[in-house]
Every structure is written in structure tokens, then in C-alpha cells.
Structure 1
């Protein structure tokens, strides 16, 4: 398994190249590693931070972007399409043909989220254990097959069974890709790179509507007709992309065939430079570190925030076609599908722009705060008017802010833990609670509440207001706790002696290397990164 290989991966401290060291003085402090662009400031001693050649880093990042981002983005695009296409199928005849009545459709959506939530953290732990280069394409292949099988269900029970299995295999995609990308990018870089695949969620809404309308214009696909064609075509595409993923994805820089030895070392050293208290970039799984990732105050706060955000995101994904149908009831089914596209295009734009701003500022929390106001205005418009044009305009306000919280929140929990293991559980918890929000969303738009859906829109308005309050509270708390830590007199650069506790740092005397590393965010030198 992947961890058996990881423990043999050279850490920066074991590098044979001068100038790339961690936790020890460089053999030649004035040397610069030309191949990697990494060096240490000769004025610093012992625990001095890495310094890198900006041009070498930029070249490396562009190469990683080219090999990693397109594959994971396409896999996540069809992950989201395979999850949300039931909304397109509903208005194309699924509900009538399967004999769904009352709350049956809501129950189908909920069944997916039950398995999705239960398997979230276990799936992310499996991703680390097996290795993301194999695990991510494997689960994508599995849910592609399940999506294809949905075309052949004939009643509620069969549909419920495939939706449950779909949740099992899709559970690992969002947190797994976020964790995987944290192996390749620095803290500030990660937010924008996460947006490049999470942007596929709003694009799935746009592309899914276009694709569904195109598929429905066909007479048949093989022997399949009607709404069933949506699942056949989209399932086959997912399976094909998964096979490509097996060929293009690699677990980590050390195993990337497309990186030179010098690039591998630079890629590893870049990540190591931001992780205090650790002596290895990819550590072995440890229960203490898993618990640290889950119990981090920023992880818990951000995860709750993502739960509230996902009530609106998933509600919009599942019910956008239904909402559009209530706004434009006289339009054809194909036109109703097409009306869902423009708001998602706007959403995709802002899902990239807001994380890009976050990357340039190396700030995430303030950008999360700024996502809430427009959503509050949008749901207020849904509640305050029945004018079709105004309500359709409100959907643009919603999509302009909702989807950006995905990359921002995952980057925030990743930035505020230290070890690779803690990052696994932190991202897993964030996405798990986010999908509890998705489960709530499946019951937010109920049949008896149409056409204006006062209950669903009121719930979403309340959730957005809570997002604003919680994100502001976290933004205030983080610098306050950093100031409290500063008063303890331990500088942020103090990492502790890798062979034991650091002399002169209260609370670390006599601790072993493993115990110091196990402190993670509780280490006195750790500071929150807002």
C-alpha cells in the first residue's frame, strides 16, 4: 500500500543535495541548488526556512497544473453530473415512469446522502492508505458503472439501491482530490487549484443541462429511450475518463514519472517548508494525528460553515430544473433545461475568481465572509417577489457566491493543520459535514410548498445568515488566539528538536520526536492562517 512506499520516500532532511535540508545545518550554507532552486539564508542557523528560486517554482507549478488539474477536474465534473442528473431526469419523465409519489423523490436524494456521509472520512483514510493515484480513478470507475446502471431501474426500490451505491463510491471524490492536491501545492497556491476542480460543480449544472437537453433530443441510445438515455451516455463518459485517470494520476511527486529528480526534490521541499514540527512530508497514519485533524477549532468551525453552505449548493443543484419550471411553466422541457445553464456559467466564473483573489492575498477567511451577502439578497428576492424575471435574476446572485466556499473551506482546513495525516481527517470531516447539509437540502423543497417554495427559500436564507455570522466569528477568533500564543513567547519558526523536545520551550522538554509531531496544531510554535 501507499504508506509502505511513503516511508521510504526521501525527506528533505535526508537529501544528498547541498542546500536542501530540514532540521539541520546545510553542508555549505552559501550554496544554492541550481537544479531545484532551493537554498537557505546563510544568515540563519539550524531551523532557518527554505528559500526558493521563484522562477523554478513557477515552472514546476505550471508542469504540475498541466498533469494533475485537467484529470481531476474532469473526473469531478462527471462525479457531480452523475449525482445531480437525477434532477434533469425527473422533469424528463423519471418521476412518472417509476411511479414516484409524494416524498419519494426527496427520499431518493436522501438515500444517496446517507451513504455519502457515512463513508466520507473512511474513504479519505483509504485514499491515503491505498494511494490517491489509484484510489481516485478506481472509485470514479465504480460510480460511473453505477450511474450507467441507473438507466435500467424500474421502480423506487431499485432506484434507491443504485443511489445508495452511488453515494458509497462518490463519497471519496471531493475530499480525496482536495487531500491529493495538498500533496503538490503550497498553502496559498492550494485554494486556487482547488477551485479549478470544484468549479466543475457549477459547470456541471450548466453542462449537465446542455448535455441532458442534447441527449433528450435523440430518439434512442442503443435500446434505451427517454430519461434513461441521460444515465447511459453520462455513465459511459465517466467510465472512459476513469480509465484515463489510471494512466495520468500519480500518488505524489516522488513517484511522478513526468518530473525530473531535481523537480521531485523541489516539489517535496516546497511542501516541507510549510510544515513545522514534522520530519516527513508524507507521514504514516497515526490515530493521534487523525484526531488532531478532526478536533482543530478551525476544522470544526469551517466544517459547520460548509454544512450550512451546502444546504444551498445542493438544494440548488437538485432543484434548479424544478425551480425553473415553476418560473417558466409554459416552456418546453428542453427550454427549461437550457434556462438552468446561464446562472451556472456565472457561478463557474466566480468560483475561480474568488479563490484567485484568496491566492494572491494568501487569505481565505475574509473571502469566505464576502461570499454570504449576495446569497442573502438572492434568497430574500425569492421570498419577497413572485415576478418570474426577478426570481430568475436571483439565481445569478446565488451562483455567484455559493460554489466558491467549496475550495475556500477545504483550503482553509488544509492550511490550519500540520501533518499529512491530520489533513486527511480534517478535509474528510469538512466534506462529511458539508454533505450533511446536502442531506438537509433534499428535504428543503417539498411538493406541497410549490410553486413559491417558501419553506425551502426561508431555510436557505437562514443558512446563509448563519454562514455570515460564523465566518465573521472565526475571522475574529484566529488572530486573537495567535496573539495569545505570541504572549507565550514561542516564535512561529520554532519547530523543536527532531530527536526530542526543544530546549527552552515550555511543554516540549523530554518529548520524543513522534510526540512533538503528534502535537500538530497544539504545538506552541503553530499559528492559525486566516
Structure 2
């Protein structure tokens, strides 16, 4: 055994007798060996990230492929007129928003290793079902069911990964799966273009083939994930005993007033996650951001059609790909900077001006090249706020229970923004869409303002907490009552 291996084993040997309770030893008693931690982190990256990234890729594709189907004749075949397409998009978000927080609580109760594959299987089946609808009512019913199953994916994966990664690491790891949102736009456009070159898929034609083939792929990935995902470090067959203890210890070292990494469901802690001021402020920012993110997902093919109206349908699909590729690059770059600096709020603020510039270009010019260039600026920042905001709310609660509802709250607010986006680009507002572009300029400007105000408040409240030194309030409280304080504990500081 090498000296580094011995050091790593020594570092995690303390407290193994508590492993069956999934408790890590107190932070003061653990000297974490950095080489052992790096090897563990690399192993977790390899075993966790690819599966959740692929699941989220097809989660987003199954949601957004309706935009590609629209170009392939969906509206005409279903008899959609006026605002029917917008209504079809909206019904998805009604179930999505309502089920957001309950799904994340269910994810904790059921275990992510079972919940994530099960819900993926559900939305894969719903996607296939969309291929067989013939009326607007049928399509709306299937989209509603799709929203129920997809509601738990984004917050569920974020919550799941918070069990494995430290505060600094989490932002970049979240980006490794949320980057699948812009890649879904790029890959979805390519895949839709390839599918549309087929004469038929069984009895299905044109847009029907898009939903059926992509749904089948989703079901296959869901079945595989039942075998590859594991709930938590203690149930991971690919970790040895020392690695399991190190995995618990390095997470626990960041948590104030608790030695239990995975606590039991607790109403007080559930409320701590929901009514945390930083969570609420960040969730509002994510709502503003998602007006743009989901608007791009649903309407970029339509926007491209107005820019290049004489191009063929396949060419228009291909024009949607490059902006998403650029968006994917920045979705990794900006959270990567957050990882190295262990800071997220400054990047939230910095992301807004590029989106603002893109919508100013849309409003100021009718030139095709300028408007197409604007989509690159918008995609470069908008998608990155997904991992950054989810990591920020995760960093500003203490317990696993509070984290489940905090992330659920953030994503729920985000999808209220998604619901708004379904009505942001009206058919009668085309081809230049001044109302939709003006709305997105307003929301991106609001991100800049809200992000700055939240940063100033966090700094001010941290100074207040440091000055008060009010640990006297803990006198007479039981250990459980102290743990239930969560972010209200006097030693807690907001993580900027």
C-alpha cells in the first residue's frame, strides 16, 4: 500500500463504527487526506454524473421536442389555431409546478436511486403517448401527465448530487447535467432532423416519429439507471468502507450543528428549506431566468424560421444547433469558475448583462445576422444560472431535509417562469416579437437588480450574525432542537 493510500485510510478510519447510522465523525476529529479525497471525487464523478446527465438530456428533449414537432406539422395535424400552441405548452407547466416540491419530498422518502429511474420511465412513456394523439384535448392531457413525471427530475438530481459533493464542488457537478439542457436543444434539433428523413416509423409519420423514437430511447435509459444509480454513499457497492466514511465526513464537515448527513423527514426542517430568505431570493432570480431558458427551448425553432423564412424545414432545425453549443460551453465555464472560487452570487449578477445585450439586439435591429447573433449571447449566460442557483440554495441550508425542499422551491419558482415563457411569444406578435423580447429584457434586468440586492443583504446579515455572538440562545435546547435551527443557528453564515 502506498503512503498516500495509508494516509487516506488513516484519515477516514475514525468513526467507522457509526457507519450503519450514516453518521460522519465530528469535523474536528477528521483530517481529510486531499489525495484520497481527489480519488474518491473522481470515482463519484465517473459513477454518478454520466447516468443523471443522460436522464436529464432526454428529460429536456422530451419536453422541448414539441418545438421541433411544430415545424414538422404538429399544429396543422391537430387543428391548432390562434393561441392553442401556447395553451398546449402551458398545461405542462401547471402539473410541473404543482408537483415540484411534493416530488422532491417523495424523492427523499423513496430514495433517489429508485425515484429518478421511476419518474424517467414515466415521462418516456408519456412521450411515446404524444405520438398517438389526434386532437388538442388529447395532446393537452398527455402533456399534463408529462409534467407530473418530469417535475421531480431537475430538483431531484440536484438534491441527489448534494449527498455526494461538497458546497464548492456541487456547482460544477450540477452544470455537468444541466448542460444537457442546451445540448438537448442542439442534439434535439439534430435528432429531429435525422428522424424527419425517415419515410415512416411503423404507422407513424413526421412529427409523430419524433415523440415515439425519443420516448423509446428515454425508456431504455430509465431501465439501465435502475441498475446504475445508488441512493447514497453507504449503499454504493463501488465504494469500500473507508471511502464510504470519507464520503460522509467531507460532506458533514460543512454542516453546522449536525453529525447526521442523512436525517429523517422533519416538518421543522422542511419549513426551514421553504422559508429561507436566500432560497426565496434565489428562486425569484431563477424564475426570471427560466422565462428566457424555456422560451428558447420552445420558440427558438420558431424564431429561426422568422429569421430564415426561405430555408427548408431541416435547415431551420439545423440553425437552432450552434447557439445551444455555445450555451453548453458557458454552462460549464461559469459554474467551473464558481467551483474554484467557492462563490456563486457574483456569477449570478455577472450573467445578466449578456442576456440583456442579446434582447437589446433583438429589439434594436431587424437584420437577420444581428438577430441570429443575439441568440448566441442569450444562450451563453441564461443556461448557466440553472446549476449556479441550485447550488446556491443548497449551500445556504444545513440539513438534508431542508435541502430537499429548498431545491424544490427554487425549481418550482423557475418553472413559474417557464409557464410565463409559454405566453411570451404570441403568434400575432411575429415576426419580430417585440413584446416577447421586451419581456425577456425586463426579466434579465431584474436578475441584475435582485442578485445585487441579495448579495448586499447576505453580507449585511453575516456581519450582524458575527457581531451578536448569541450562542446563549442555545442554552437549555435539546440536541434535536439545535439541529432543527438549521440556517437560524447562530454559527451559520450565508455562503456567498
Instruction: Please report the TM-score for the alignment, with normalisation by the length of structure 2.
Output: 0.95
Distance 2:192 2:230 in 1: 33
Which ranges of structure 2 fall in alignment gaps of 5 or more residues? 1-5, 15-25
Query: Which of 369, 380, 383 is 2:349 aligned to?
Result: 369
Match of 2:34 in 1: 54
Match of 1:207 in 2: 187
Query: Which of 18, 33, 52 is 1:72 aligned to?
Result: 52
Match of 1:358 in 2: 338
Query: Which of 306, 315, 333 is 1:326 aligned to?
Result: 306
Per mean C-alpha deviation after superposition, the further-off stretch among 276-285 and 190-199 is: 276-285
Match of 1:509 in 2: 475
Please provide the CA RMSD for this pair: 1.2
The offset of 1:476, in angstroms, is 1.3
Match of 1:317 in 2: 297
Match of 2:211 in 1: 231
The offset of 1:489, in angstroms, is 2.3
Q: Structure 1, residues 396-452: CA drift from partner, whole Å, max 9, x if none?
A: 000000000000000000000000000000000000000000000000000100000
The offset of 1:49, in angstroms, is 6.5
Match of 1:520 in 2: 486
Change (3 A) 1:453 1:133: same
Does the 8 Å CA contact 2:279/2:410 hold for their aligned counterparts? yes
The offset of 1:39, in angstroms, is 8.4
Change (3 A) 1:47 1:272: closer
Does the 8 Å CA contact 1:281/1:419 hold for their aligned counterparts? yes
Change (3 A) 1:238 1:513: same
Distance 2:450 2:37 in 1: 36
Q: Structure 1, residues 93-123: CA drift from partner, whole Å, max 9, x if none?
A: 0000000001100000000000000000000
* 4+ aligned runs moved over 6 Å, structure 1: none
Change (3 A) 1:48 1:149: same
Distance 2:281 2:206 in 1: 44
Match of 2:139 in 1: 159
Match of 1:484 in 2: 464
Distance 2:259 2:338 in 1: 29
The offset of 1:475, in angstroms, is 1.3
Instruction: Please report the TM-score for the alignment, with normalisation by the length of structure 1.
Output: 0.89
Distance 1:226 1:300 in 2: 43
Does the 8 Å CA contact 2:287/2:414 hold for their aligned counterparts? yes
What is the DSSP-based 3-state SS (H/G/I as helix, E as strand, rest coil) of the residue aligned with 2:75?
helix
Distance 2:10 2:229 in 1: 23
Does the 8 Å CA contact 2:182/2:327 hold for their aligned counterparts? yes
Distance 1:37 1:65 in 2: 21
Match of 2:453 in 1: 473
Q: Give the number of the structure with larger relative contact order, counting CA–CA contacts within 8 Å between residues 6 or more apart.
A: 2
Equivalence map 1:203-282=2 (5 Å): 203-282=183-262
Change (3 A) 1:267 1:445: same
- Greater share of residues in helix: 2
What is the DSSP-based 3-state SS (H/G/I as helix, E as strand, rest coil) of the residue aligned with 1:511?
coil
Distance 1:437 1:51 in 2: 44
Q: Structure 1, residues 493-524: CA drift from partner, whole Å, max 9, x if none?
A: xxxxxxxxxxxx21111111110000000000
Which ranges of structure 1 fall in alignment gaps of 5 or more residues? 1-31, 41-45, 491-504
Distance 1:163 1:94 in 2: 14
Match of 1:103 in 2: 83
Match of 2:43 in 1: 63
The offset of 1:47, in angstroms, is 6.6
The offset of 1:51, in angstroms, is 2.8
Distance 2:28 2:313 in 1: 63
Match of 1:447 in 2: 427
Distance 2:267 2:217 in 1: 38
Change (3 A) 1:271 1:449: same
Q: How many residues align?
A: 480
2:408 is the counterpart of 1:434:
no
Match of 2:11 in 1: 37
Distance 2:429 2:245 in 1: 58
Query: Which of 174, 178, 182 is 2:154 aligned to?
Result: 174
Does the 8 Å CA contact 2:295/2:422 hold for their aligned counterparts? yes
The offset of 1:36, in angstroms, is 5.9
